[in-house]
Amino acid sequence: MRLIKHICLAIALILTIVSCARQEKKLTIVLGGAPSEVKYLESLIGDFSRKSGTEVSVIRQPTDSDQRRQGLLIPLKAGEADPDVFLMDVVWVGQFAASGWLLPLQEYMKEDGFDSSIFFSSVFDRADTFRGAVVALPVYVDTGIMFYRKDILDKYGLDLPANWLGLIDIARKVQEKERSSNGAFYGYVWQGAQYEGLVCNFIEISSAYGGCIINENGKVSLKSPENIAALEQMIALISDNGISPPNTFTEMKEEESRIFFQNGNALFERNWPYAWRLHESDGSPVKGKTGIMPLPVGPSGHRASALGGWHVGISRSSDLPEEAWELVKFLVSREVQRSLCLELGWNPGRKDLYEDPDIAARIPHIAVLKTAFESSVARPSAPFYTHISEIVQKYINAALSRNMTAQEALSAAQKEVERIMTLYNE
């Protein structure tokens, strides 16, 4: 009897604790990224709390984007009241919105007279609008750009390449010459490991060759001749005597290529704009020697940069939607966007900041970025985009590692993506 009494008491105690924790409504935001970024964002959230009087609790997430998505997926699927506000990678917005996890924002925007034309329409229309509803707002927009070594090009009296073939040509010549003094020198570094970044690198070259993953009619067109030519070009970059390091398809993600270039071992580097601040930081061997240009034009006459970036949204299960909307407005406000740009080098989602004199002084290439954003290509925006991406990553990587030819890999990818489309398209 006594034991049963004890068990009952224990259960009662646990229930009391759980219900106490449940009653408290609190605005919760999920933030992730590099430690310095999270720290700065937390200080901004602190400012918001002080000004608005709303207490905000912050859940920290790591840098890895898959882990960040997983951390959001579980509470959202379970319909938890927290988190209320969170940052999303541009490629998740489709999945989250289609799953009904995002609160439509247009009512709030209308009520507050919030003007959405301050954002790049190429970003806002494709990434933040889903089936006619506004589901997110851009906090930070990103796009692929090309870094190059000004000093080395000057040394050999070379001009900037006009197109992809020109870039490869210059990279090969310079690599040969530099090898006499630096055996580890490569002409061009980019992201080829099996992960999301590979898809960005692929669609950039594919679009420059006139290809795409899914065409305007919604049909999969992975095995088009344009894509085969583009992929063969990518394979050739890593082949014997290639201009990209042999570990491109196993290890090269953003940071690996950034460090490779920063150590002075590469002439060109495809990366996101964040690398600029690090290349220019004190102690960097390439400080003052780095230039930025848009990605080169391909045989199709087009240039294309993958659209990336992070967007802020509100959970549909949020218990404090009004407060959450205030926090969202705060994060995309001119003032906050300006300090995020100056402190963290995050490119504002607002167009009006690209003319700001302070920002232009700190980030001299901001004009290059503006053009890049306006000519950016989005990754396919299906709710099951990440599934498509998995398949594309796997086969492109198989081709880069030479386990398959470009044609085999793209045909196999085409078949699998088509299967997924029939499976998930209602």
Partner 1 sequence: MNKHRADLLFLAPLFLFVLLFVLVPVIGALINSLFRDVSFLPVKFTGLMNYIRLSGDSAFRKAVVFTLLFSAVSVFLEMAAGILTASVINEEFRMRGLIRGIVLIPWAIPNVIGARMWQFIYQFEYGVHNFFMKALFGMPENWLGSPAGAFSALVAADVWRTTPFVAIIILAGMQNLPTSIYDQAKVDGAGMIARFFRITLPALKPILLIALIFRTIDALRIFDVILVMTGGGPGGTTSSISLLGYKAFLQGDFGYGSAISVAIFLLAFVIAMVYLKAGRIKEEI
Here the tokens at position 272 are 């996101």
397 sits near partner 1 (criterion: CB under 8 A)? yes
- Given the rule CB under 8 A, which of 133-141, 225-233, 245-253, 328-336 is the region that contacts partner 1? 245-253
Per-residue x/- mask for partner 1, residues 363 to 392, rule CB under 8 A? --------------------xx-xx--x--
Nearer to partner 1, 278 or 342 (CB): 278
Q: Of these, 195, 325, 354, 373, which contacts partner 1 (CB under 8 A)?
A: 195
Nearer to partner 1, 6 or 51 (CB): 6
Q: Of these, 49, 57, 401, 411, which contacts partner 1 (CB under 8 A)?
A: 401
Ordered DSSP codes for 235-256: HHHHSTT-SS-TTHHHH--HHH
Q: Of these, 122, 250, 339, 405, which contacts partner 1 (CB under 8 A)?
A: 250
Burial of 165 (0-12, 13-18, 19+ CB in 10 A): middle
Cα–Cα distance, 85 to 418 (Å, whole number): 34
Rg (CA), the chain: 24
Nearer to partner 1, 325 or 395 (CB): 395
Cα–Cα distance, 246 to 243 (Å, whole number): 9
Cα–Cα distance, 382 to 180 (Å, whole number): 49
Nearer to partner 1, 143 or 271 (CB): 271
Q: Which of 330, 334, 333, 338 is nearest to 366 (CA)?
A: 338
Shortest distance (Å) from residue 96 CB to partner 1 = 8
91 sits near partner 1 (criterion: CB under 8 A)? no
Shortest distance (Å) from residue 335 CB to partner 1 = 35
- Given the rule CB under 8 A, which of 16-24, 28-36, 189-197, 220-228 is the region that contacts partner 1? 189-197
Here the tokens at position 382 are 């299906």
395 sits near partner 1 (criterion: CB under 8 A)? yes
139 sits near partner 1 (criterion: CB under 8 A)? no
Cα–Cα distance, 231 to 247 (Å, whole number): 17
Shortest distance (Å) from residue 422 CB to partner 1 = 11
Q: Where are the alpha helices (DSSP H) in 264-303?
A: 275-279
Q: How far is CA 264 from CA 129, 132, 273, 341, in A?
A: 42, 48, 18, 26
66 sits near partner 1 (criterion: CB under 8 A)? yes
Contact 102, 315 (CB under 8 A): yes
Kindly list the strands in the beta sheet with 145-149, ordered across the sheet, starting from the edge strand earlier in the chain: 186-189, 266-271, 145-149, 290-293
- Given the rule CB under 8 A, which of 102-110, 222-230, 322-330, 416-424 is the region that contacts partner 1? 416-424
Contact residues: partner 1, CB under 8 A? 3, 66, 69-70, 73, 77, 95, 98-101, 184, 193-195, 245-247, 249-251, 260, 383-384, 386-387, 390, 394-395, 397-401, 403-404, 416, 423-424, 426
